[in-house]
Structure 1
Amino acid sequence: MLLGCIGDDFTGSSDLANTLRKQGMRVTQFSGVPTVAADPSVEAGVVALKSRSIPAKEAIAQSLQALEWLKAQGCTQFLFKYCSTFDSTPEGNIGPVAAALAEALDARKVVVCPAFPGAGRTIYQGHLFVHDRLLNESGMEHHPLNPMTDADIRRWLALQTDMKVGHVGFGAVSNGADAIKAALDRADREGARLIVVDALSDTDLMEIGAALNGAPLLTGGSGIAMGLPENFRRQGLLSGKGSTWQGVEGACVVLSGSCSTATRGQVARHRADELPMFEITADAAVAGKLDPQQIADWAMAQAERPLVFSSADPAKVRAAQETYGREPVATAIEQLFAAIARALVAAGVGRLVVAGGETSGAVVEGLNLTSLEIGPEIAPGAPALRARPSGRPVALALKSGNFGGENFFAEADAVLRGDAPTA
């Protein structure tokens, strides 16, 4: 294994695995830290944790455990992957985990670059934009777990760690890899160890990747990985062998626990198409009034792509959190979705489309999926996946809440079934 990646949630890890696959690496995504060695043919391993919103100490411990396993597989470069909207609180977990990994690897000039231009996330003068809006004006300021109230990544990161934060501006990035290297060296001489790097396009990310050839550690969204495979290819280290994708027949069910703007638009499109829907409210979930088996039975009885969702308006989510507490609400809904997923697999579901990072993590853990085959891209940041939770194949789409167009549920179903062109 050449490149070792640590993701702080499951959807983001799938996004990263998809990026590396498209750039020609043989990739496997692991759910949690594996207990056995990886297949020797794997060139990039992505260890998907569920560490984004847990206490920082736990996130650090899990990430260091993943790092040790990846080092044991022979990795020479490591990537800490987090969301392209830098989902975190002023306490962490991005800064504390990045700092702990830097210390463990004795790494300097650690790049921090959550940019993902394909999904509208860019960084300019250290500020993170979502399309034409600053991060804190994009809807992310209403995130129920990690409200992002400042678009200045330098300032937000400095709240999370004692390591000095530096910056490489677009002027250097636009002049290519050599200029980026020189700017990183300058920031290092000034004492910065975590360095925010601007990026407006995929070309910028490719140049940043080239500048990071041989760097022990980098951090960012999936886009920061775009230029890394070419470094290994130039050294003759990649096999050049691709992978094939076969769709899975059977029923398709959509599970949505995200209340992001994009997902609520997808739920609205599903409703407009007059497809079957079953809403989970926070009140019912916390009270334990919902039977996951009955919900699964309802879904399997529908003729076409039923949706089970708890994607409420942010105001309703906040009201429920004020009534019951943030963690009890999140835990009750995640546990319910995990139980529904188990019942669906037991009933023979062929395809699962899951919206929301926390929901996806709960489903993957609930199904005890230890590794996932990476398939073609459905939408930027959302690849098709295949696993065998019950000895037979189940195709999955694990989508971060903010990703995908309004028709994502239907598009994902087509790719997972094998009825859409794949790359």
Structure 2
Amino acid sequence: MLLGCIGDDFTGSSDLANTLVKNGMRTTQYCGLPQADAGADVEAGVVALKTRSIPVEEAIEESLQALEWLQRQGCTQFLFKYCSTFDSTPEGNIGPVAEALADRLGARKVIVCPAFPGAGRTLYQGHLFVQDRLLSESGMENHPLTPMTDPDIRRWLGLQVKGSVGHVAYGQVAGGAETIAAALTREDQAGHRLIVVDALTDDDLTAIGAAAHNIPLLTGGSGIATGLPGNFRQRGLLADAREAWEGVDGPAVVLSGSCSNATRRQVERYRQAHLSFEVTADAVMDSSVDVDALVHFVEKHRDAVPLVYSSADPATVKAAQSRYGTEPLAHAIETLFSDLAGALAATGFTRIVSAGGETSGAVVRGLGIEALQIGPEIDPGVPAMRVTGKPLAVALKSGNFGADNFFDKAVTALGAQT
């Protein structure tokens, strides 16, 4: 294994794996800390953790355990993957985990770049944009767990870390790999270990990757991995042999727990032509809806590819959090989706589409998935995936990703005809 990656959630990890596969690296996604060594043909390993919203010390400990496993596999470069909307709180977890990984590796010039132009995330003068809106005006300011109220990544990251934060502005990035490398050295000499790097295009990300050919640790969204396979290819280390993909037959279901603007549009679009069951916060907390009721609904409409969703608008979510508490409510909904996914797989559902980072983590846990084969891209950042060793295919979508018709496309992409 050449490149070792640590993701702070499951959807973001599949996004990263998708980027690496598209750029020619044989990649396997591991769900949680692997219990055995990787196969000899794996060039990039992505260890998907669920550390985005857990206590900081737990996130650090799990990330360091993943790093140790990747080091044992022979990796020479490491990437800490987080969401392209920098989902975090003023306390963490992005900054503390990045510092802990850098400490363990003795790394300097640690790049911080959440940009993903293919999904409309760009970074200019240290400020993160979603399409043509600042991050703080994109809807992410209403995220139920990690509300992003400041688009200045330098300032937000500065709240989370012990050291100072550097910056490579777009003027240097536009100059290409050599200019970027010189700017990183300048920021390093100024005492900045974590360095925010601007990016507006995929070409910028390729140049940043080339500049990082000898840097042990990078952090960012999946886009930052765009240029990394080329470094290994230039050294003659890649086989450049794409793994064959095969979808699966069988019934399908769509599960959505994201409340993002994009997912709510997708839910509304899908509901127009498909049967659906809305899971409200009140119904979960007073147990008027449980796994048995949801399984009954899905089984009754087994051939109709039904939707089960808990994707309320921000005002409704905030009101529910006030009534029940943010953490208890989130835990209850995630547990419900986890148990539901496991129960549906046990009754023969072989294609499961999941929307939302926390929801997808719960679904993976409920399905008991250990490793995933990466298939064709459904929408930017979201691949079809097949569970290693099982006739089960899944799509794990970040809440903010995907076109309005994503659910229909995903169900088709997971099928055997692909």
Q: Distance in 1 between matches of 2:248 and 2:291?
A: 24
The within-5 A match list for 1:9-158 is 9-158=9-158
The TM-score with structure 2 as length reference comes to 0.98
The equivalent of 1:292 in structure 2 is 291
In the other structure, the counterpart of 2:414 is 416
Aligned equivalents of 1:37 and 1:101: distance in 2? 21
Partner of 1:405: 403
TM-score (ref. length: structure 1): 0.97
Pairing 1:393–2:417 present: no
Query: CA-to-partner distance for each residue in 1:298-340, whole Å, 9 max, x for gaps?
Result: 2132132100000011111111111110011000000000111
How far apart are the structure 1 equivalents of 2:214 and 2:86? 25
Deviations 1:161-190 (A, max 9, x none): 011100000001001000000000000111
Which residue of structure 2 aligns with residue 226 of structure 1? 226
1: distance between equivalents of 2:38 and 2:272?
45
1:272 Cα deviation from its structure 2 partner:
2.2
2:320 is matched with which residue?
320
Q: How far is 1:419 from its partner?
A: 4.2
The alpha-carbon deviation at position 350 of structure 1 amounts to 1.8
Q: Which amino acid letter does the alignment assign opposite residue 187 of structure 1?
A: E
Asked whether 1:276 is paired with 2:275, we answer yes
Partner of 1:306: 306
Runs of 4+ in 1 over 6 A off after TM superposition: none
* Contact 1:286 1:328 (C-alpha < 8 Å) held by counterparts: no
**Shift of residue 342 of structure 1?**
0.8
Q: CA RMSD in A?
A: 0.9
Alignment of 1:101-250 (within 5 A): 101-250=101-250
Q: How far 1:213 sits from its partner (Å)?
A: 0.2
CA distance, structure 1, for counterparts of residue 22 and residue 135 of structure 2: 27
Distance 2:185 2:121 in 1: 26
1:247-273 CA-to-partner distances (Å, cap 9, x unmatched) read 211111000000000000001101222
Q: Distance in 2 between matches of 1:164 and 1:76?
A: 26
Matches within 5 A, 1:349-364: 349-364=349-364
Matched-pair contact (CA < 8 Å) for 2:27–2:45: yes
**Paired-residue identity, %:** 65
- Distance across 1 between alignment mates of 2:300 and 2:375: 28
Q: Which residues of structure 2 form unaligned runs of 5+?
A: none
Contact 2:340 2:366 in 1 (8 A): no
CA contact (8 A) 1:300 1:349 kept: no
Quote the Cα distance in structure 1 between the aligned partners of 2:35 and 2:253: 31
User: Where in structure 1 are there 5+ consecutive unaligned residues?
Assistant: none
Q: C-alpha offsets along residues 67-96 of structure 1, whole Å, 9 cap, x if unaligned?
A: 000000000000000000000000000000
Contact 2:334 2:358 in 1 (8 A): yes
Q: Does the CA-based 8 Å contact 2:2-2:74 persist in structure 1?
A: yes
CA distance in 2, matches of 1:320, 1:350: 33
Deviations 1:211-270 (A, max 9, x none): 000210000000000000000000010111111111211111000000000000001101
Match of 1:7 in 2: 7
Q: Which amino acid aligns with 2:267?
A: V
Q: In the TM superposition, what is the alpha-carbon distance from 1:283 to its structure 2 partner?
A: 1.1
Question: 1:113 touches 1:197 (CA, 8 Å); kept in 2?
Answer: yes
SS in 2 for 1:21: helix
Helix, strand or coil: the match of 1:258?
A: coil
Distance 2:247 2:35 in 1: 29
SS state at 1:417 partner: coil
CA distance in structure 2 between the aligned counterparts of 1:366 and 1:357, rounded to whole angstroms: 14
Q: Is the 8 A contact 1:251 1:300 kept in 2?
A: no
Equivalent position of 2:377 in the other structure? 377
Tell me the matched-pair count. 417
CA distance in 2 between partners of 1:293 and 1:43 (Å): 42
